[in-house]
Structure 1
Amino acid sequence: MLCVTGASGVGKTFAAHAVLAGHPAHRSCVLSLPSRPTPADLRTAFHDALHLPGPPPDDPGVCDAAVLDALAAGPQTVVVDEAHQLSLAALEYLRYLYDSLPDGLCTVLIAGEKSESVLRDTPMLGTRAALWCEIRPLDADLVPLAARRLHPLWRQASGAQLRHLDGHFAHGRLRRWALLTHQARRIRSTAPAACRRWIEQLAARVDDGSIG
């Protein structure tokens, strides 16, 4: 098991999906869960994510057998976002699946920075979590490179301009850079202009707080 933690908006979920996308031969099982999921919610989520036929069986034992058969059919990486919302019963269900498979179950648990202690205090993870990975906001000197890889329009901006936008708004957080990119594209589409002008317009919106 791998536990990924970090502050809100730094790109934890994006990073997990990007790594999985880079290894298409290794199948991923991304669970879509409601808030505070129960073991029954996990069974339904596994049934859907594994593309099992028909609706989930009402009998938990039958459902578990189908889920385990599908997981045992080949390498799978299970991704659980907002893992700190899992109840002890839900975490125990993941432990049951992990222990029921000969090679265990590769599981990525994603949780917010302030929720890391919730996972660390869970006995089940104490002996099964092989790695704890903290994703931090980007350092200022990495912002120009990251922004230009995020979207080609940032290749027109200078390093100083990108660091200004980051220092006044994004603070090294990928989610905020995605919002800046959306705003920049809107400015470019409504009033095409030279690079410096649209970046200055965007910076002005950042400085006056109109982008939130």
Structure 2
Amino acid sequence: MPQHFTNLTEAKTLETDQLALTRRIIGDLADKLACGVIHGSAGTGKTFAVETALEDLRAGHGGRDPMRTHTLVFTSKPTMRQLAEELVKTLTGAKPRSGNRFYLITALIELLSGPPRLLVIDEAQRMNGDCLEQLRHLHDHGDTRFALLYVGGDGCWEVLSREPMLRSRVFRRLPFQPIERAEIPALMREYHPVYAGVDDGLLLDIDDTYAHGTLRDWAAFTHTAADLCHEAGRERVDADIAANAYTLLGGGAR
């Protein structure tokens, strides 16, 4: 199981609707060798959800045969040659013998024509039109057998949807959203023991003041609050613990 943000001890994985949908979508892509997109603002839990679903896929959970997965992430906008080189390196574990793009594409078609696999392009908003077209060409090729998942943050869908040839091939798409306010109290009591028995009003105040439905912000707050509870000899969060946590986290400002 992927680690929780900040390695928070005693935190439980929240079985949110978005986590369940991520598992379903990645399973569907694997079954159909199709193309999909999962996107949303930072901190909404998409990375954890995707990694959890990929782990399930590699392990063969859900009655499926285990499937190989490969994830690529670029720190800046790659060229078509850089994309092809990284793909070959990811699939083989070795630097390609030649940097010639046509050699690389031929090698990729051969590599991707073997056992079915899932290729994940993380931070997909960094892709340009040429790179997206190159991936589409590889995915559409009659000899290749792989599913393709684009994952990205703000602006991801806007970038991908500008390419009509890609947009028309998207089989599944999931936009990640912050947790609905009404769901916060029940989810947080499930998330960590420091919220057991804490009333709805305080949990909603924490969300309104600091977390705003964002799982990463809830993780940061919970890590801080759990430390404060331990130092104060308290088992759960109260108004004083919350106030002190706000101070340590910048006064509640995001």
Asked if TM exceeds 0.5, the reply is yes
Query: 1:9, 1:132 → 2: CA distance?
Result: 18
Matched position secondary structure for 1:130 = strand
State the match for 1:107 in structure 2: 148
Maintained 8 Å contact 2:194/2:235: no
List alignment gaps of at least 5 residues for structure 2.
Answer: 1-34, 59-65
Stretch deviating more after TM superposition (126-135 or 155-164): 155-164
Q: Percent identity?
A: 27
Query: 1:44, 1:182 → 2: CA distance?
Result: 40
Maintained 8 Å contact 2:221/2:245: no
Question: Is 1:135 aligned with 2:166?
Answer: no
State the match for 2:124 in structure 1: 83
Question: Is 1:194 aligned with 2:234?
Answer: yes
Equivalent pairs, count: 210
Matched position secondary structure for 1:98 = helix
Query: 1:3, 1:170 → 2: CA distance?
Result: 26
- TM-score, normalised to structure 2's length? 0.70
State the match for 1:22 in structure 2: 56
Query: 1:186, 1:53 → 2: CA distance?
Result: 42
1:112-149 deviation digits (Å, cap 9, x = unpaired): 34442222111221321112211111012222343355
Residues 162 and 97 of structure 1, relative CA distance in 2, 3 Å threshold: same
Residues 115 and 10 of structure 1, relative CA distance in 2, 3 Å threshold: same
State the match for 1:205 in structure 2: 245
Q: Which letter maps to 1:183? A: T
List alignment gaps of at least 5 residues for structure 1.
Answer: none
Q: Which letter maps to 1:169? A: Y
Query: 1:75, 1:143 → 2: CA distance?
Result: 39
State the match for 1:166 in structure 2: 207
State the match for 1:47 in structure 2: 88
Residues 92 and 114 of structure 1, relative CA distance in 2, 3 Å threshold: closer
Question: Is 1:9 aligned with 2:51?
Answer: no
Residues 35 and 151 of structure 1, relative CA distance in 2, 3 Å threshold: farther
Maintained 8 Å contact 1:7/1:112: yes
Residues 166 and 128 of structure 1, relative CA distance in 2, 3 Å threshold: same
1:38-73 deviation digits (Å, cap 9, x = unpaired): 2222223323432x1432232333433443333332
Matched position secondary structure for 1:209 = coil
- TM-score, normalised to structure 1's length? 0.82
Query: 1:103, 1:155 → 2: CA distance?
Result: 51
Maintained 8 Å contact 1:184/1:198: no
Stretch deviating more after TM superposition (110-119 or 93-102): 110-119
1:108 is displaced (CA, Å) by 1.5
